[in-house]
Amino acid sequence: MSHSSQPAFSSGRLLRACLYAVLILFAVYYLLPLFVMLVNSVKTLDEIRGGNMMSLPKNFTFEPWLTAWSSAQIGVEPTGLSPYFINSILMVVPAVTISTFLGALNGYVLTKWRFPGDKVVFGLMLFACFIPFQIVLIPMARVLGAIGLAGTTSGLVLVHVVYGLGFTTLFFRNYYAAFPDELIKAAKMDGAGFWRTFTRILLPSSGPIIVVTVIWQFTNIWNDFLFGASFADFDSMPMTVALNNLVSSSTGVKEYNVHFAGAVLAALPTLIVYVVSGRYFVRGLMAGAVKG
Amino acid sequence: MQHSLPGKAEATLREILPRLVLSPSLFLILLFVYGFILYTGYLSLTDSRMLPSYDLQGLENYARLWGQRNWITALQNLAIFGILYILICSLLGLVLAIFLDQKIRGEGILRPIYLYPMALSFIVTGTAWKWFLDPGLGLENTMHLWGWESFSFDWIKDRNMAIYTVVIAAVWQSSGFVMAMFLAGLRGIDSEILKAAQMDGAGRWSLYTRIMIPQLRPVFLSAFVVLAHLAIKAYDLVIALTNGGPGRATELPATFMYSYTFTRNQMGVGASSAVIMLAMIASIIVPYLYAELRERR
């Protein structure tokens, strides 16, 4: 599909140099905040206060990272961010697994076992991807309270499964729509039922879309703040909420180096996923935005 | 008749099994999305304060909402933020995509660098930028230390300018993503069209302005829809960057809704602001989804 047009600015060395200069300048712009966070997370507080944020650390120290992880004051408890990091993992793993599994089944039914009204069902699910979550905050708080899941990690898992379903269904539906119907027909002819067709024919070739969906869900749920801030209590707070508590707490000395270490810790899981499998991450973004 | 019954039951089961499999998800969506929308819509018509109340009072909350200066501020801020965010992201995304499409050496390194902020939480982005924009510690201080004594950049502390710092941070986060969308669009253009245009003697500049950019119309539309709905939903970034301040200078509908519902005990007004937010998003998303679904058939 890629075109082989002539580069628009191939003529003129000067022009081409400008092109590279602009591109590199923007690379600096995108990297700068991360650079500042990393560099200042290994400085002492004195050095940050007295010095330049761009300069490299004179006295390299790993202390802020240890503090952020295990002893920084989050709210009233000096626990560091580690318990909240674990909360996030306990929330993300089941939420991603369940929503991906349901999305795969939904996509399968909506493309290969079509029924009257299936497009309406899909439309309803699709619109659910885009609603502003403010519209569900109040009733969700009531329902979580009523079923005894208020302030728990299980409650957050439920919330993220429900509001992730639209996207996971969208991903699998678009993927399976491109899967040849002839293969399905042949399998049905051979007597394969609903489940066998799914597990033997579709699932084995679903690797890429499962990766895309898992990455998408993982990134979204890990990075969520609104639901965590609304429905978690102190013991079930996810990482983003704990980080915000750490950074915006008004008591005591502001330990910027610890804040940065904490911010990098919160960003690390999604960054690692991005670095390892950026290709799939981009595909997920595209599938969420442009039709598949 | 007698022994066809179990067979018939089995056939019926086989018939409805797919719908049975779909039904838990559909149930969840109907209840937690559409049921909840109705519930919040109902609350917006009641005199709910700290707790939900079911006494209807007509459109009073909406009248109160539009009488609130904070709400008007939130909408004005959303207009400034939304327009600049969409414009700058689209422009920057398009320019970077066209530049990257010039057979650039090192594209494989540059592209992921432009895109990685999208993987970060807005809380992390806000934390980084809050500090970077702080006059005493960040950019202004650095410029002073580098000898540019008169340099001043204190927008984040300035009531009139603070909303623009939200734009800066949000553009940083999302523009790489828009770039990726445009780049995919450019790479997807049929090379035959381009060859034909070049044969006709189209210059490189007009190749872009006349042929390629018009071909990107669907990408512009997708980018607009995605960015507009992100702008209306924007919450985390403001909380982490300015927490709605200084004063209420960076209040947005999402922060307004949260504070009125959960800290100011005006749940009815909060619910009505949520309904307005939903209406704004629906007016953008519904036509778009409708067109997309129809097209695909």
Residue in B35, B121, B282 nearest the CB of A267: B121
At B147, phi and psi to the nearest 5?
105, 0
Per-residue pLDDT band for A292 (boundaries 50, 70, 90) equals very low
Rg (CA), chain A: 24
The dihedral formed by the CA atoms of A20, A271, B180 and A119, expressed in degrees to the nearest 10:
180
Q: In this structure, what DSSP letter does residue A251 have?
A: S
Residue in A24, A30, A267 nearest the CB of B124: A267
Tell me if B168 sits within 8 A of B133, measured CB to CB.
Answer: yes
Per the prediction, chain B carries an average pLDDT of 87
Cα angle A255-A260-A264, degrees, rounded to a multiple of 5: 150
A155-174: average pLDDT: 93
A36-55: average pLDDT: 84
At A220, phi and psi to the nearest 5?
-65, -45
* pLDDT surpasses 50 at B187: yes
Residue B296's pLDDT is 57
Tell me if A103 sits within 8 A of A168, measured CB to CB.
Answer: yes
Mutation site for B-interface testing, chosen from A138, A140, A256, A285 by largest number of B Cβ within 10 Å: A138
Residue B279's pLDDT is 94
Residue in A32, A52, A140 nearest the CB of B145: A52
Superfamily of domain B69-296: MetI-like (1.10.3720.10)
Euclidean distance between CA atoms B126 and B106, whole angstroms: 29
B211 touches chain A (CB under 8 A): no
The residues spanned by each domain of chain B are 69-296
Is A270 in a helix, a strand, or coil? helix
Highest mean pLDDT range out of A10-19, B143-152, B205-214, B248-257? B248-257
Residue B82's pLDDT is 94
* pLDDT surpasses 70 at A290: no
For residue A215, the chain B residue with the least C-alpha distance is: B119
CA A201 distance to own-chain centroid: 29
Q: Each residue of B16-26: pLDDT tens digit?
A: 888 899 999 99
At A289, phi and psi to the nearest 5?
-105, -50
Residues in chain B with CB shorter than 8 Å from the CB of A219 are: 119
Question: Whose structure tokens read 């042949």?
Answer: A186
Mutation site for A-interface testing, chosen from B124, B187, B205, B219 by largest number of A Cβ within 10 Å: B124
In a domain, A23, yes or no: no
Q: Each residue of B57-78: pLDDT tens digit?
A: 888 889 999 998 999 999 999 9
Euclidean distance between CA atoms A141 and B271, whole angstroms: 13
Mutation site for B-interface testing, chosen from A134, A171, A241 by largest number of B Cβ within 10 Å: A134
Domain of residue A102, CATH code: 1.10.3720.10
Higher pLDDT, A145 or B245: A145
Separation in Å, CA A249 to CA A42, A72, A95, A242, B154 = 21, 11, 29, 10, 22
CA-closest candidate to residue B65, choices B225, B271, B250 = B271
In a domain, A33, yes or no: no
Residues in chain A with CB shorter than 8 Å from the CB of B173 are: none
Cα angle B29-B32-B33, degrees, rounded to a multiple of 5: 65
Query: In total, how many domains does chain A have?
Result: 1
Residue in A9, A132, A270 nearest the CB of B274: A132
Structure tokens that stand for A231 in this block: 């429905």
Q: Each residue of A250-285: pLDDT tens digit?
A: 667 788 889 999 999 999 999 998 888 877 777 776
Euclidean distance between CA atoms A200 and A203, whole angstroms: 6
Q: What ipTM is given for this predicted complex? A: 0.87
Q: Answer yes or no: do B187 and A1 touch at CB < 8 A.
A: yes
B183-190: average pLDDT: 86
Highest mean pLDDT range out of A103-107, B97-101, B266-270? A103-107
Residue A1's pLDDT is 40
For residue A291, the chain B residue with the least C-alpha distance is: B292
Q: Each residue of A91-114: pLDDT tens digit?
A: 999 999 999 999 999 999 999 888
Residue A4's pLDDT is 43
Q: Answer yes or no: do B113 and A27 touch at CB < 8 A.
A: yes
Is B46 in a helix, a strand, or coil? strand
Tell me if A217 sits within 8 A of A161, measured CB to CB.
Answer: no
B19 touches chain A (CB under 8 A): yes
CA-closest candidate to residue B240, choices B99, B127, B98 = B127
Q: Answer yes or no: do A194 and B17 touch at CB < 8 A.
A: yes
Q: Answer yes or no: do B33 and A226 touch at CB < 8 A.
A: no
Rg (CA), chain B: 25
Residue B159's pLDDT is 83
Higher pLDDT, B251 or B12: B251
Structure tokens that stand for B123 in this block: 């809380």
Lowest mean pLDDT among A53-57, A110-114, B77-81: A53-57
Is A132 in a helix, a strand, or coil? coil
Residue B270's pLDDT is 92
DSSP A11-60: S-HHHHHHHHHHHHHHHHHHHHHHHHHHHHTTS-HHHHHHS-TTSPPSS-
Lowest mean pLDDT among A164-173, A203-212, B2-11, B45-54: B2-11
Per the prediction, chain A carries an average pLDDT of 86
Lowest mean pLDDT among A123-132, B90-99, B130-139, B223-232: B130-139
Per-residue pLDDT band for A289 (boundaries 50, 70, 90) equals low
Per-residue pLDDT band for B295 (boundaries 50, 70, 90) equals low
Residue A288's pLDDT is 58
- Domain limits for position A282: 82-289
In a domain, A252, yes or no: yes
**What residues contact residue A247 under an 8 Å CB cut-off, 6+ apart?**
A259, A262, A263, B127, B130, B240
Neighbours of A166 (CB within 10 A): 25
A52 min Cα distance to partner chain B (Å): 5
B143 touches chain A (CB under 8 A): no
Q: What percent of chain B has pLDDT over 90?
A: 39
B40 min Cα distance to partner chain A (Å): 6
CA-closest candidate to residue B134, choices B154, B151, B150, B152 = B154
Per-residue pLDDT band for B6 (boundaries 50, 70, 90) equals low
A134 min Cα distance to partner chain B (Å): 6
**What is the number of residues in chain A?**
292
Tell me if B274 sits within 8 A of B40, measured CB to CB.
Answer: yes
* pLDDT surpasses 70 at B297: no
